[in-house]
Structure 1
Amino acid sequence: MIKWEYITTPLLLHRETAILNNWGSEGWELVQIVTGPEGGLVAFFKRQIAA
């Protein structure tokens, strides 16, 4: 069975691409971007846990 780990991070205005590229370069796959409770954007990522 595949196991996953997850992380969330805020997306700062005018830095979205850099933040997404940084997490992607570490093997994190973007799952979703939503508006957070305080109005900013929050990105949800997942990556497979090595067996």
Structure 2
Amino acid sequence: MTMESPHASALHLKHAGLERRILEEMKRPLPDLGVIQQLKRQKLRLKEELTRS
């Protein structure tokens, strides 16, 4: 088992935070789809960066 780099750990934390924010926004009575799209794009960029590192 390899140790995760501090950078990768930070990316995982940011990814989890974005996921939480997306879920919170979707639970609202009138979710802002623009905000959800923006958060999903950020989450995808983090995921792509994680696969490269």
- TM-score, shorter chain, exceeding 0.5: no
TM-score normalised per structure 2: 0.34
Tell which has more relative contact order, 1 or 2 (C-alpha 8 A, sep 6+): 1
More strand by share: 1
Of the two, which has the highest radius of gyration?
2
